[in-house]
Amino acid sequence: MKNILLPNGLEVSEIALGAMMFGSTTSKQEAYEVLDMYMDMGGNFLDTSNNYAHWAGTGDESETLLGEWLRDRGCRDRVVLATKVGFDRHGKGAGLKKEQIEYWIDESLRKLGTDYIDLYYAHTDDPDTPIEETMETFDRLVQKGKVRALGTSNFDTWRVAEANCLANAKGFTPYSVMQQRLSYLNPKFGVAPAYAFNEVVGRERLRFLCDKNMPLVSYACLCKGAYEDPSRLPAEYEGGERLQFIRERAAEKGVNPSALVIAWLINLYRLGNFPRIIPLFSATPEQLRQNLNGLELTLTEDELREMNQIGCR
């Protein structure tokens, strides 16, 4: 697995591993197996949150398990660790106010058993809190050495632009990574996202990220396994010609469809007008092994353009 040097100075693997369900529906034994395999294959970019997975437990399970694994393996210095703040926990805790950020960074550091977070995401926008309060608080964490870099997840593009304009004017640390939904399938027009600011990445956002030299970490990029099992297709996505094409082309190349989606995502930047995209997903050990076959695929620019043109409206 190749490493990518991000504009913010972090050097991350081209695939990020999601730990959302680790410690809740994914057992400690299986989580350790996946983490060990990912690291053995050259991965270093781990993604969690301060509320994973509160719908299946308390919301502390993922960070706690990762902290145990980091201690047991003694590999904190070989990992780029991302976590988040600002989303709901059992109907409470949402927001990006000063006191919320300061409380939850210390809780995350405690559970993860570390002195610093490499990449700290605002997990979703908080329109009720002044941008300056949020950015000043995040910047203070960077100055104290608790956080190395900042990112957004589930934000409108214009809000990221406003936040970074203010950060630049005030001398605060800007957001330098965006995490948002993107996959090969087209979203259905007019279908509302599951929650506010949860939109699928569109062309305008991709152009913005490319212009700002800001990488995109694409979560939910494998559509809950729908590329292998179309019955799992999320309601907000179209299947049709694009799904049929990716499944047929993957069979021709001798890989599972998700592996080809991953290859498409990590190679899009070669065409221009696309940012660097880092697929983020979780998997069983066997799924991880199959999906990472996408790293070995060679896609020509003509193939990438053909893939982009299928099912275009």
C-alpha of 249 from chain center: 26
Report residues of the chain scoring pLDDT below 50.
none
Element (H, E) at 141: helix 131-143
Distances (CA, A) of 290 to 41, 203, 239: 12, 29, 22
pLDDT at site 92: 84
Q: What pLDDT score does 141 carry?
A: 98
Task: Give me the residues paired with residue 47 across strands.
Answer: 18, 82
Top-level class of domain 12-309? alpha beta
Per-residue confidence (pLDDT) for residue 36, from 0 to 100 = 98
The pLDDT assigned to 189 comes to 86
What confidence score (pLDDT) does residue 93 get? 82
Active-site residue numbers?
Answer: 52
